[in-house]
Amino acid sequence: MTDFNLRTLPKRILDSAKGLKKTATLAGTGVLCALSLILNQFTLAVSQFLEIGFSFLAAATCGYLYGPITAALAGVAVDILGYFLRPNGGFFIGFTLNELLAGFIYGAWLYKRKVTLLRTFLACLSVVIVVNLFLTPMWLNIMYGNAFVISSARLIKNAIKLPVDTLLLYTLLKAVEKHYKMKSED
C-alpha cells in the first residue's frame, strides 16, 4: 500500500530547502517555471469561473524533482509572473497561496518517492480537495460573493478531470523517472 509516510516528510522538506542552494536545482526550477507559464497560455476557458489547463504538469514535475519547498516557491513565482503575462481579472493573493500549496502538496507526495499510479492519484486528489474544491471557491466567495453556487459545476469538472490529470501526470513522471534512472546508471 502506498502511504503518505509522514516519518520521512520532514527530511524530504529539509532536503528540498537545501536544494535551493544548488545551481542545477535553480536552473531546472526556472525551466519548469517557464514551461508552466507557456502551458498556462493554452488554458481553455470553459466559463467565467472554470478553466482547463495543463500547467499543473510543470508544477507537479517540479515537486517530484526538487521537493515541496522548491515547488511551493516556484508556484508563487509562476503565479505572480503569470499575472503580469496574462492577467485574468484582478490580482488576489489567495490564488498565489493556491499555487504555493499545490506545489507543496505535489512535492510532499512525490519528492524522492517511486512514481506509482496510486501515489500520483493521491497527489492529484489532494490538490483537487484542498485547492480546487475548498480554497478556490472560498477565494471566489471573498472576491465576488455567493461563489459557492458554482461549486456543483466545479465538483463535476474536477471529477472528470481528476482521472485524466492523474494519467497525464503519471505518464509524464514515469518518463522523467526513467530518464533519471538511465542518467544515474551512466
Tell me: the pLDDT tens digits for 55-109? 999 999 999 999 999 999 999 999 999 998 878 778 899 999 999 999 999 999 9
Average pLDDT, the chain: 89
DSSP 16-49: HHHHTT-HHHHHHHHHHHHHHHHHHTTPEESSSS
Cβ contacts of 151 within 8 Å, gap of 6 or more: 133, 137
Provide the percentage of residues in the chain whose pLDDT is more than 70: 88
From 37-51, 155-169, 171-185, the region with the lowest mean pLDDT: 37-51
pLDDT for the residue 109: 96
pLDDT for the residue 149: 53
Q: What is the distance between the alpha carbons of residues 131 and 148, in angstroms, rounded to a whole number? A: 14
CA dihedral (55, 60, 62, 67) positive or negative: positive
Q: What is the distance between the alpha carbons of residues 177 and 168, in angstroms, rounded to a whole number? A: 14
Residue ranges per domain, the chain?
9-180
What is the mean predicted confidence (pLDDT) over 32-38?
96
DSSP 103-165: HHHHHHHHTTS---HHHHHHHHHHHIIIIIIIIHHHHHHHHHS-GGGGHHHHHHHHHHHHHHH
Task: Give 40 or 28, the one with higher predicted confidence.
Answer: 28
> Per-residue pLDDT for 148 more than 60?
no
pLDDT for the residue 33: 97
Q: In which band, very low, low, confident or very high, does the pLDDT at 1 lie, cut at 50, 70 and 90?
A: very low
Cβ contacts of 73 within 8 Å, gap of 6 or more: 20, 29, 100, 103
Q: Which of 34, 38, 33 is nearest to 73 (CA)?
A: 33
Q: Which of 95, 89, 50 is nearest to 75 (CA)?
A: 95
Whether domain 9-180 has CATH 1.10.1760.20: yes
Tell me: the pLDDT tens digits for 152-165? 778 888 998 899 99
**Segment holding 82, helix H or strand E:** helix 68-85
Q: In which band, very low, low, confident or very high, does the pLDDT at 171 lie, cut at 50, 70 and 90?
A: very high
Place of cell 513522471: 173
pLDDT for the residue 150: 57
Task: Give 44 or 128, the one with higher predicted confidence.
Answer: 128
